[in-house]
Amino acid sequence: MEGVKHQKTIYALNGNKPTMNGHSGGHQKNYVAVNSDKITAAATAAVAGGDGVRRVTLAEYKQAAQCLAEAFADDDVARYFTEVPDRAHWTEKQKWDLHVSILEYMTYAHILKGLVLAAGSDYGCVALW
């Protein structure tokens, strides 16, 4: 379309972000906003450092989902399902477990009918399509 300007997409890659309610799940992730023009450079650097981008398999869905759960721990949209009146009596652990379960389901479904990619041996970056 002529005359339409597209905004650059912001992606989350390595930089510190707190986890939900202190649940780290044994992984510490780093998140930083990266301009979409720099994604290619970041991917190239990851491959050069031995942390190449790869397709996630069904055997890895829980680890990939844990990365996403930590990344979206404080996200208002992700918390929409846990911070509702009918869950007011739930403990923070129950809410966290539901949050993780939702992301495990989403990750598993994307592996089956979409695409899930990860960078780094410890799932430092995970993407669902």
Contact 115, 55 (CB under 8 A): yes
Average pLDDT over residues 13-27: 43
- Cβ distance 14 to 32 under 8 Å? yes
Alpha helices by DSSP H, listed for the chain, are 39-48, 61-71, 76-79, 92-113
The pLDDT of residue 5 is 40
Banded pLDDT at 103 (limits 50, 70, 90): very high
User: What is the per-residue pLDDT across 42-83, written as a single tens digit (0 to 9) for each?
Assistant: 555 555 555 688 999 999 999 999 999 999 999 999 989 899
What is residue 120's predicted lDDT score, i.e. its pLDDT?
82
For the chain, the structural domain boundaries read 10-128
Q: Would you state the structure tokens that stand for residue 21, as one six-digit string? A: 């309610």
Question: What confidence tier does 121 reach under pLDDT thresholds 50, 70, 90?
Answer: confident
